[in-house]
């Protein structure tokens, strides 16, 4: 799902009384567009909850994301989940060689949001 769409859906659900948390690899970008609660994870695109067929790992990621929802103390909170990918992004052999179209479209905004968050 497009990061902007996730934010719009989350905000709409929140306005209607449903609490949300968005699991993302781009926390700075998502914070900029106003997602109420963000669970940030250091996983590659296409594998946000973990490796294929790793149900224990996927369950752990989802449980951690739900804990962010349960424990959030303020709007706009970003919690970095304690998971890292087991290999360098450039070492993955299942990624296409070119950047995805959605990332290409928002790359400047993502970089800008990251730079602002690191100030």
Residue-range definition of the domain harbouring residue 43: 3-117
Scan for tokens 């914070």, then name that residue: 31
Task: Give mean pLDDT in consecutive 10-residue pieces for the chain, a chain of 119 residues.
Answer: 76 90 84 82 87 95 96 87 84 71 85 81
Provide the number of structural domains found in the chain.
Answer: 1
* pLDDT for residue 25: 87
State how far the alpha carbon of 94 is from the alpha carbons of 21, 46, 67, 70, in Å.
28, 10, 30, 34
Q: 0.85 exceeded by the pTM?
A: no
Neighbours of 26 (CB within 10 A): 21
CA dist 46 → 27, 94, 96, 100, 115 (Å): 16, 10, 11, 11, 24
Per-residue confidence (pLDDT) for residue 89, from 0 to 100: 64
């Amino acid at each position: 799902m497009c990061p902007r769409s996730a934010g719009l859906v989350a905000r709409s659900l929140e306005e209607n009384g449903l609490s949300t948390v968005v699991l993302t690899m781009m926390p700075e970008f998502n914070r900029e567009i106003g997602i109420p609660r963000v669970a940030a994870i250091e996983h590659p695109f296409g594998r946000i909850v973990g490796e294929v067929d790793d149900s224990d790992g996927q369950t752990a990621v989802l449980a951690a994301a739900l804990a962010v929802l349960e424990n959030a103390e303020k709007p706009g909170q970003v919690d970095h989940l304690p998971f890292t990918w087991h290999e360098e992004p450039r070492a993955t052999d299942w990624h296409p060689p070119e950047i995805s179209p959605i990332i290409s479209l928002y790359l400047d905004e993502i970089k800008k949001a990251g730079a602002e968050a690191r100030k």
